[in-house]
Amino acid sequence: MPNLLIKDLRAIALGFSGGLHEWPSIPCPTCGRSGLTPVADTFVEEEAERSKRWQVEYSGEWEPDWFYGGFHCVLRCSKGGCDLVRVVGKAGMDHLLDDQGRWYGGWINLLTPSFFHPALPLVQRREGIPRSVQDRIDAASAVLWVDPSSAANRLRSAVEALMDDQGIPRRWSSDKGPYDVNLHRRIENFKAAKTAYSDAADAILAVKWIGNVGSHEDALKISDVLDGAEILDFALEEIYGTRDVVKKLAAEITARKGVPVGLIFSPVNSVDESIDLFEWP
């Protein structure tokens, strides 16, 4: 099943057009369900002073993609009753491409977000997720747009907190005394101890690798961090999600062959189990 939240964030990372009605769906950090839309009379776009001078000083050579500036806007949730969100970012011009990705001479006003306040959600919130894990994910979302490498490192920290919650030790003892256990080994220990979550363990190992790159290099893009967030979201659903509840519900429905519980236990409408009233040819 596609992760629609991450799909929305990927679209946002590509930037917005200057037309407010053409903006992609922006997830609401308050309700996590409905989308945010720009409040038209709050939108401000400003060209940088140096960009203005270039148009005068290099008028014979100036190209539209030399233009740059910034924008800011207030966003409101369509649901109502949610907190307003402020977005700040960069403004520029980009090539207008056809359906095959070829430039045909046109230009588009491109707005690239650098900051959202409150931060947009990175993963689906679930009741069972520990606060220590959620706080680190929220910290990643707060810096995602301006510093992807830092955001990746915070997702790695969320994996450390996840291992803490699952009871996987950070330190072990040996004949030579106690020593620290690195995250890679902790994930391996988690997989060995909790075989039911082996798929989740494989997933968070990938998040760890992305976080490692974020710790040592400034090479990650927003899309790389969103890959990590989507993988981590899968692991959290495996560990804290509703899968077991749904499996139990499906088993119960199959056991009674889809007959509603009230019909089965009603003294008036009791069902003879020897007769399959709901067996289709």
Determine, yes or no, domain membership for 264: no
pLDDT given for residue 2 in this prediction: 56
Same domain for 213 and 170: yes
pTM (predicted TM-score): 0.82
Q: How confident is the prediction for the chain on average, in pLDDT?
A: 86
Same domain for 104 and 3: yes
pLDDT given for residue 140 in this prediction: 97
Cα 55 from chain centre: 39
Same domain for 139 and 81: no
Determine, yes or no, domain membership for 258: no
Q: What's the structural domain count of the chain?
A: 2
Determine, yes or no, domain membership for 20: yes
Same domain for 54 and 22: yes
Q: Token pair of 10, please?
A: 């990927």
What is the pLDDT averaged over residues 265-271? 52
At CB < 8 A and 24+ separation, what contacts does 211-214 make?
211/152, 211/153, 211/154, 211/155, 211/156, 211/157, 211/159, 212/156, 213/149, 213/152, 214/148, 214/149, 214/150, 214/151, 214/152, 214/153, 214/156
Determine, yes or no, domain membership for 260: no
The one-letter code for the residue type at 144 is L
pLDDT per residue as tens digits for the range 62-105: 888 889 999 999 999 988 889 999 999 999 988 776 666 667 66
Determine, yes or no, domain membership for 103: yes
Domain that holds residue 65: 1-121
Residue found under tokens 């040592």: 216
**Which among 121, 153, 171 is the end of a domain?**
121
Please report which confidence band the pLDDT of residue 41 belongs to, taking 50, 70 and 90 as the band edges.
very high
pLDDT per residue as tens digits for the range 158-207: 999 999 999 999 988 776 767 899 999 999 999 999 999 999 999 999 99
pLDDT per residue as tens digits for the range 238-250: 999 876 667 777 8
CATH code: domain of residue 180: 1.20.120
Same domain for 42 and 157: no
Same domain for 60 and 133: no
Same domain for 57 and 35: yes
Determine, yes or no, domain membership for 129: yes
Same domain for 114 and 230: no
pLDDT per residue as tens digits for the range 100-120: 666 766 788 889 999 999 999
Q: For residues 198 and 205, give the distance between their C-alpha atoms in angstroms, rounded to a whole number.
A: 11
Determine, yes or no, domain membership for 265: no
Same domain for 132 and 108: no
Task: For the chain, give the percent of residues with pLDDT over 90.
Answer: 57
**Which among 93, 121, 149 is the end of a domain?**
121
Same domain for 109 and 132: no
At CB < 8 A and 24+ separation, what contacts does 148-151 make?
148/214, 148/220, 148/221, 148/222, 148/224, 148/225, 149/213, 149/214, 149/215, 149/217, 149/218, 149/219, 149/220, 150/214, 151/214, 151/225
Determine, yes or no, domain membership for 207: yes
Task: For the chain, give the percent of residues with pLDDT over 70.
Answer: 87
